[in-house]
Amino acid sequence: AQSVTQLGSHVSVSEGALVLLRCNYSSSVPPYLFWYVQYPNQGLQLLLKYTSAATLVKGINGFEAEFKKSETSFHLTKPSAHMSDAAEYFCAVSGGSNDYKLSFGAGTTVTVRA
């Protein structure tokens, strides 16, 4: 079975500062990993995904994430926060290409201070 743990349910950053959201996974097979963003009263939107190609993955809106097998981590970063980045972020894992299901973390809410 696969699972993810997101460290920190709330993160507050200043506009222009680094955004770092932590995700650790557990998987018995090589995982596929995803980050999603949810704006208020909306569904989830895919930010980026790792599917066993390059370990540094670039996504939309300036976000990127690095897959580190030795640390079982897939942390999400953005060099400079913008007010529009205020949202809830979810890390998710599936058990590779043969696994239909995504397992989600509990989510991290990001607030951006002016």
Partner 1 sequence: DVKVTQSSRYLVKRTGEKVFLECVQDMDHENMFWYRQDPGLGLRLIYFSYDVKMKEKGDIPEGYSVSREKKERFSLILESASTNQTSMYLCASRGGQGHGYTFGSGTRLTVV
Residues that bind partner 1 (CB under 8 A): 9, 32, 34, 36, 41-46, 49, 51, 90, 92, 97-98, 100-107
Smallest distance from partner 1 to CB 102, Å:
6
Smallest distance from partner 1 to CB 114, Å:
26
Smallest distance from partner 1 to CB 19, Å:
19
Q: Which of 63, 29, 69, 28 is nearest to 49 (CA)?
A: 63
Smallest distance from partner 1 to CB 15, Å:
26
Distance CA 64, CA 56 (A): 7
Distance CA 29, CA 93 (A): 11
Distance CA 68, CA 45 (A): 23
Residues 87, 37 contacting (CB under 8 angstroms): yes
Closer to partner 1 by CB, 29 or 46: give it: 46
Closer to partner 1 by CB, 92 or 112: give it: 92
